[in-house]
Amino acid sequence: MYEVDDTTGDIIESTTTEKIPNQSKHIFNTVLFYEKGLFTLRLSGNYKGESLAIVQGNPENYRWYDKNFTADFSASVNLSKKLRLYLELNNLTNEPLRYYQGRSDRPEQIEYYSFRGLFGINYKLF
Q: Model pTM?
A: 0.73
pLDDT in tens, 44-84: 999 999 998 888 888 888 899 999 999 999 999 999 999 99
Specify if 81 maps to a domain.
yes
Nearest to 98 by CA among 58, 60, 48: 48
Q: Which of 3-7, 95-99, 120-124 has the lowest mean pLDDT?
A: 3-7
Domain assignment present for 38 = yes
Instruction: Please give the residue range of the domain that contains residue 119.
Output: 19-123
Q: How many domains does the chain have?
A: 1
Position 6 in a domain: no
On the question of pLDDT at 85 being above 90, the answer is yes
> Cα–Cα distance between 52 and 98 in angstroms, integer?
12
CB 87 within 8 A of CB 123: no
Q: Is residue 62 part of a domain?
A: yes
Rounded distance, CA 111 to CA 99, Å?
Answer: 9
Question: In a 3-state reduction of DSSP, which class is residue 60?
Answer: helix
Nearest one of 70, 71, 74 to 118, comparing CA atoms: 74
Q: Is residue 36 part of a domain?
A: yes
pLDDT at 19: 64
pLDDT surpassing 70 at residue 14 = no
Q: State what percent of residues in the chain have pLDDT above 70.
A: 90
DSSP assigned state of 95: P
